[in-house]
Chains A and B, each alone.
Chain A
Amino acid sequence: MIFGGITITEASVIGLIVASLQFATLLYLAALGETIAERAGVLNLGVEGMMAMGAMAGYVGGVASGSPWIGFLVGGLAGALLASVHAVAAVALGADQVVSGLALTILGLGLANFLGDSYTSDTRRSLFKDVDIPGLSDIPWVGETIFSASPITYVAAALGVLTWFVLSRTSIGLGLRAVGESASTADSAGHGVAAIRMTAVVIGGAMAGFSGAFLTLDTVGAWSEGITVGRGWIAVALVIFGAWRPGRVGLGALLFGFTLALERRLQPFGIEFSPILLSMLPYILTVGVLVVISYRARNQPSPTPAGLGIAYRREER
């Protein structure tokens, strides 16, 4: 089909949807982790660095073990280890969260490049295979896209549901949210602020690591320097876009994933549009959401966790 110079073929549309889902999975894993950390009141700007570490370690782990699943877990572990630096510095020692997080990004990128150097032109592959869901994957269009996606896409969706449930329906989640809103309140109610915050940061790091591992073990299929190209920052923006809620962050991941896919896949449609401008779209959307939030905040509390970025020390006069 051709509309005014735009060519639409089944293959290009399916390609676009598949790519959107891949990007969405990548962003969602990292953003979900950051959501958990920020709901506990800790801003971690090290997502990009943790993602790079996960990408490198995930690939190496996958190649070494021959199993993408083991690689995926190794990637998560690497992200968690790096995050524990932030947990110690920003939570236990009360360092400035912005400074510590930025340092984490620089550290993670550098460390990943250094440790992964010899794997840069490695051609061994240990990749995830897409899962066809029996019955559903035969449905035209939908089956070829949503129901035969990477197993990690389903893992990400399941983690999203789990995160929602834990945050809103369990005592652990209630405590975590209280820590993020008002640490002194949570403390006097008996929730260990430092323990909850450090755990949340480490879990967030593991999920950024998963995200990076997904990149090298699935989307790209190789490790190279600078492979994360700023996706970690989009994940940070996505948390704000999704108003710190797992569900909305998920919807945002689909939207942002779609814009990232468009950036790569406009050409097959015969559309001439600068991909550089398109790559700005997630940030523009996020700024738009920030404006809406601040406007709405006149009538009700902002969705931003009230204690976000504020170190907690039990008062001693």
Chain B
Amino acid sequence: MTEPAVELDGIWKRFPGVVANAGANLTVRPGTVHAVLGENGAGKTTLMNCLAGVYLPDEGTVKLHGREMRFSSPADALAAGVGMVHQEFRLVPTFTVAENVVLGSAPRVISRPEINRSVAELAERFGFSAEPERPVWQLSMGERQRVEILKALWRDAQVLILDEPTAVLTPQEAEDLGRVLRQMVGEGRSVLFISHKLNEVTAFCDEATVLRGGATVASSVAIADVDSAALAELMVGSSTKSTETDAQRNTEMGDVVLAVDNVSVTDSRGLTAVDGVSFEVRAGEILGIAGVAGNGQRQLTDAIAGLETCRTGSVALMGDDLTSATPRDRFRAGLAYVPEDRLGVGLAPKLPIAENAVMRHYPKMRRGPILLWDRAKEFSAELVSRFEVKVGRVEDRLASLSGGNLQRLLLGRELSSEPSVVVASQPTRGLDVHGVAAIQRLLVEQRDQGTGVLMVSEDLDELLVLADRILVMSEGRVAGKFDPAVASRAEIGAAMAGVS
């Protein structure tokens, strides 16, 4: 029997207040695509960071091909043949593809034509198409991911770790990725594929290791021998979960509460991000917007909330044209907004919880220019208990909250003014199972109370369960409208990829 390519044994990694890995084990055979499965917060990324030299584990051993390793930096790990493609790409946008690929192991004196040629050759060997002289800022997310993979291959990495690689890909690009991974393992390399999406794992991987609560609950399960339901059960624990929130579809739809007509938005680079999008949201429905990240969703919701200017078109709330209204006027008119960027756009991390809670509401809590601090605290305390935000004291810094609690606070703040329209962008992204369920329940409640809900999500399965109608965005345009009751994932996937 051959030596395993990777062997992680009893890995512990603690952070202040959190145990991310509690004695996790992982063994990867050379020449295989190995899935690292688990819910958000199960410790997948931390474990892989221990392998890739980002973190030094507190306890436990890391072995590569039978030899014990101790990496003090990612560069160390890379030199030993472990490359990792993080969810946030580590690329220099102003550099060309070739410059990014060779960075860190470039020849002493660089001849551009020469590195362009060698990078193109490398790409060709693995069945990529790469344009080595193009600057990275011009590339799509999928293309950038390929540059990241090329970086690892340039160093001849024997072990490649991909952290949720398909999150930024269209279904077509994901298939291409699968082909490249096959080619790599065909040469005897190993790939570690971090995911929480079972369908991808069954499509791309040979074996899977499942993590839960920082520990390994199943190691090196052969994908061929196990069905998805069993894997799902391993991921979430005893009872099989389903994302099915009792989302009884509301047949009673009301009037149009939000009308978006022919809206176009230019992004900060001067490119058209949203291109003539029109739709209506009615009272008592959830309109889901599906699509791969970066296809104009962020600019669209920002334009509805008044954070971006519409180049063309109009936005109307309850029949009133608000195209040039300020964000505050829109809020007063009944528009609640949960932005994609919770910390930064939605909430101010360095301010206390109470100040964040009253941020939209303080005009009602003042006498002249003086803020009535008691009223503000009272309001915050109410909000916190009504939306079940777990906090120490409302005077604590917001940054002390976990992801799920942050989102509850944000959603609570937006909902407590009883809006007629809720625009929620990626409201469940990055939350744990309980957090996801709580947020979904709140949105469904809103719908049942007759609020119009616009929900942007990258998670198609979530939209299929929650939304009354689904609209797909691709390259800034509406690429299709679907009824989740009858539409198939394949149809919607094709629209996401821009295939008409």
Contacts and interface: CB of A to CB of B under 8 A. Distances in A.
A2 interface: no
A150 to B, nearest CB: 31
A187 B73 contact: yes
Given A181-B92, A181-B95, A186 B103 contact: yes
Given A174-B102, A187-B73, A190-B75, A299 B109 contact: no
A137 interface: no
Contacts of B15: 317
Interface of B is mostly: loop
A223 B55 CA distance: 54
A169 B135 CA distance: 17
Contacts of B151: 189
A191 interface: yes
Nearest to B135: A301
B93 A299 contact: no
A188 B90 contact: yes
Contacts, number: 84
Contacts of A178: 92, 95, 103
Interface string A273-307: 00000000000000000000000001111000010
A219 interface: no
- A181, A190, A298, A314 pick with most chain B CB within 10 angstroms: A190
A174 B270 CA distance: 28
B91 A182 contact: yes
B434 interface: no
Interface of A: 169-172, 174-175, 177-178, 181-182, 184-191, 298-301, 306, 314-317
Interface in B99-139: 99, 102-111, 135, 137
A181 B94 contact: yes
Interface of B: 15, 54-55, 73-75, 78-79, 90-95, 99, 102-111, 135, 137, 151, 268-270
B93 A306 contact: yes
Contacts of A170: 108-110
Contacts of A189: 75, 78, 90, 103-105, 151
Contact of B106 (A171, A187, A306): A171
21 contacts: A170-B108, A171-B110, A174-B103, A174-B106, A175-B106, A178-B92, A178-B95, A182-B90, A185-B103, A187-B73, A187-B75, A188-B75, A189-B78, A189-B90, A189-B103, A190-B74, A191-B103, A298-B270, A301-B93, A316-B55, A317-B15
Contacts of B270: 298-299
A185 B270 CA distance: 26
A175 B104 contact: yes
Contact of A190 (B91, B104, B135): B104
A190 B94 contact: no
A298 B103 contact: no
A106 B269 CA distance: 39
Contact of A187 (B74, B91, B109): B74
Given A171-B106, A188-B74, A306 B94 contact: yes
B269 A298 contact: yes
- B73, B90, B137 pick with most chain A CB within 10 angstroms: B90
Contact of B92 (A171, A172, A182): A182
Contacts of A185: 90-92, 103
- A169, A185, A189, A317 pick with most chain B CB within 10 angstroms: A189
